[in-house]
Amino acid sequence: MLGISLLKCLPLKAYTFTDCHYKVINSLIHNLKINFKDDTHQSGFSSNELWHQCETGPPEVINERNIRGASHTVAVRDTCHVEVRHLDWLDMGVGGPPALCQFDFILGSDIVYERSLLPGLCTVIRAFLQVGRSCMFSEL
């Protein structure tokens, strides 16, 4: 909700959503398509389609077998590049983090539910936040 709200309210140039679970990534992709109509969904989703998706879950764009390194671009506005990517904090690999970029700002909300994940979160912040830039979290 945080990212979608920011995309609706601010003239951002780029935004990247990440998660490690394919079901969350599919939900992100689907929620972006609901909130930002693109060429394939000019009229949005009908109430019957949305009701069906509430019962069955979002369409599977990325599945459990192809989750590793997965990336999906969603049309939001012509001036904003939005990407949904797989990122596993606990599997950053021997060679370091995956080929994302460094970010000016890292936002997080309701992202850590187990203390064991905090070291991985700190690794991600160190890997992706540009020196001298900001990081904000709520409800860690």
Q: What is the pLDDT of residue 72?
A: 84
Determine contact, residues 127/91, Cβ cutoff 8 Å: no
- Report the distance separating Cα 44 and Cα 30, nearest Å: 11
Task: Name which of 96, 99, 95 is nearest 85 in CA terms.
Answer: 99
Supply the pLDDT for residue 67: 83
Segments of the chain with pLDDT less than 70: 38-45, 92-102, 130-131, 138-140
Question: Beta-carbon neighbour count of residue 24 at 10 Å?
Answer: 15
**What are residue 134's DSSP bridge partners?**
105
Q: 0.85 exceeded by the pTM?
A: no
Each residue's pLDDT tens digit, 30-56 = 888 888 875 454 446 677 877 777 788
Domain positions in the chain:
1-87, 90-140
